[in-house]
Structure formats: structure tokens, C-alpha cells
Amino acid sequence: MAQNETPTPQVATAPEAPKKKSKVFIIVLALLVIAGGWFGFSKYNHGKHHEETDDAQLEANISPVIPRIAGYVKEVRVKDNQLVKKGDTLLILDDRDMALRVQQAEAALATAKTNLGSAEANTTASRATINSSQANIGIVDAQIEAAKVNVWRTKQDYDRYANLIKDHSITQQQFEQAQAAKETAERQLNVLVQQKNQAAQQTNTVASQSNATSSQIGVAGAVIKQREVEVAEAKLNLSYAVVVAQEGGLVSKVNVQAGQFLQAGQPVFSIVLSQDIWVIANFKETQLEKMKIGQHVTVHVDAFPDHSFEATLSSFAAATGSRFALLPPDNSSGNFVKVVQRLPVKIEFNSTDALVKQLKAGMNVSVDVHLD
């Protein structure tokens, strides 16, 4: 510094005043604490009186369409998502083979009835023959009695002539005539007895034949019943060629075409019944303590997020879902890991909500069970 330069005098500065803290931060913090506390309290209070889960879906009855007989598809009468009523025709199978089976069964039935008529006619003829043989036996019996009388008379004459011939009171010719008459009467008696035996034997033979034909009537009657069953079965199978809807609803997954061969019992498509729909909610086993049948339930469907459906808890499943799995857990195997199980709970909608008709099976929902 130069010697002729004079030092500049320093001016003392006053200290700065401390800044005031902003009240806005305090207010926001207080509001956040109050809101968080209120949210936590409301959630705690809500949890004491409600049980919730989003592991839930809509369910409905689904009727599979299954042909009862095998055959080629002649015509398909429905399309996907078509509304059908009970009794509507869904598809028709080629029924020509079954119609022939009906005719064959009816022809067999007619043959069986003819056999029954023939057996009855044979039985009637056999009975008439038996009656005729019995009548012949009666005639022969009368002839035998007359022959016995004739034998007795000729024997008496022969005995008298035998005594007279000793005294030479009659001629030898007269005695021989009496002897010949006696022998002739005896031979006639023997012939009649043999005729009676033959008639009796013939009657027994005819009676046996009649019993045989009578049993044939029973057999023919049984065959007729069997043929009638075959005709009924053939006609029933013929009626199965027309597959009809057992219940009304929406047709789904029609994957069958005309000309396709179907096996008996092969599912071809399904009908989702439109009569009823409900919710199956899978609650944890730790949530079931206060849940009871009849409690009020609020249902939120993902497809209608702004609408609350009113429903009622109707029933609990008999076992947890894992017990119905293809490979249910076996805790006795030694590798035990405790997992919280879920129990299916059925929830039914109140019928007053018209929007329920627009719900479809399989939709995701969230349920809130009111415990009070």
C-alpha cells in the first residue's frame, strides 16, 4: 500500500432478523396425520364388522348337450350365443339306420304274434282231439259192457249145451254153435279192451302234445313281450336322433358341423342356463368365525364398477377347495407346510335388481359380507 493512501473506515452492519416458520407446512402435516388416523380408524372399524375378498366369481348352471346315440350329424339348428327354450331342436342326426331297426323290430314282433296264434290254434286242436278221444273211450266202454253181457250169455248157453251134449239131448252141431258163439263173444271183448287201451294211450299222447303247445303259448307270449321291448327301444333310439334342449339358456361353443360323426355320450356344446346366477367367494378360513348364513352381502362386479349388487350369504361348502383338487394335499407325508385354506361360500343375489340378468358366469367380483 502506498504511504500517501489513507485507510478506508469500515462501517459496522446490523445482524439479520431470524426468518419466521411457515404455518402452511404445519397445517398440511396436521391434516395428513388426521386423515391417516381417520383412514386407519375407519379401516379398523370396517374390518370389525365386515369380511371382504376379491377371490370370487359368478357361477351359473351349465347343461352339456350330449347325444344318446352314435350317428352322423344331419343338421345343426343353433349357433353360438343363441337363446333357446326348453324343447327347442338343437341338432338332428341321420336316422335312416334307426328307422330300419324300427321296421326290423316291428317285423320280429309280427312274427312272434303269428307264432303265438299258431300255438294257440294247435292247443285248441289238441284239446278238441282230447275231447274226441275221451268221447271214443266212452263209446268203447259202452261197447265193452255190451260185450261182457254177450260173453256172459254165450257162456251160459255154452254151459247148458255142454251138459246136454253129455246126455245126447242135443246134436253135436248145436253144441259147436254154442261154443263158437262164446268164443266169438270173448274175442270181441278182447278187441274192445284193446281199442280202449289204444284210445287211452292216444288220449295221453294228445294231452302231452297239448301241454307242450300250452307251454309254447307261454314262450310265445314271452317272446312277444321281448319283441315289444325291442320295438320300444328302437323307437326310443329313433327319437334320440333329434337332440333337444333340456333347459332354456344361451348356447355356447358350438363346435359341431353337418356330416360329423358323433359318439354316444360325446359332449358337443353347452347351454348356460339363464334361470339363475350366483357368486362363489373363496374366503380364508381365518375369516369365517363371524360369518353366518343369511348375512347381507354387497357385491361389486368388475364389469359394472359403479353399481353395488345386494345379495345374501346362502351356504358354506362342505370342504375347502383343495380337498376337491386333482391332487389333494396329504399332510401325513412328512413334508408339512401350513397354508391358509379357502372355503367356497355361495352368495345369492336379491331378485329385485334388474341388472343381475346382464351378469355372465365367470365374471370377477368382489364381495363384502356385513357381519352385523
Say if residue 118 is in the same domain as residue 87: no
| φ/ψ (deg, to 5) at 361 | -65, 140
Q: What is the CATH number of the domain that holds 58?
A: 2.40.30.170
Nearest 5°: CA angle at 227, between 226 and 233?
A: 90
Say if residue 164 is in the same domain as residue 67: no
In the chain, what's the furthest Cα-to-Cα distance?
Answer: 235
Q: Are 270 and 256 in contact (CB under 8 A)?
A: no
Look at residues 174, 209, 238 and tell me which one is the last residue of a structural domain: 238
User: For residue 36, is it within any domain?
Assistant: no
Rounded CA gap, 323 and 86, in Å?
35
Chain segment 152-171, per-residue pLDDT in tens: 888 887 777 777 777 777 77
Chain segment 299-336, per-residue pLDDT in tens: 999 999 999 999 999 999 999 988 888 888 777 766 77
Residue range 1-29: average pLDDT? Answer: 58
Least-confidence region, from 91-100, 123-132, 280-289, 297-306: 123-132
Computed over every residue of the chain, the mean pLDDT equals 83
Look at residues 199, 214, 238 and tell me which one is the last residue of a structural domain: 238
> 15 falls in which pLDDT band (50, 70, 90)?
low
| φ/ψ (deg, to 5) at 90 | -100, -50
Rounded CA gap, 357 and 110, in Å?
55
Say if residue 78 is in the same domain as residue 130: no
Say if residue 232 is in the same domain as residue 334: no
Domain range holding 347? 53-93+251-370
Q: Map grid coordinates 407446512 to a residue.
A: 25
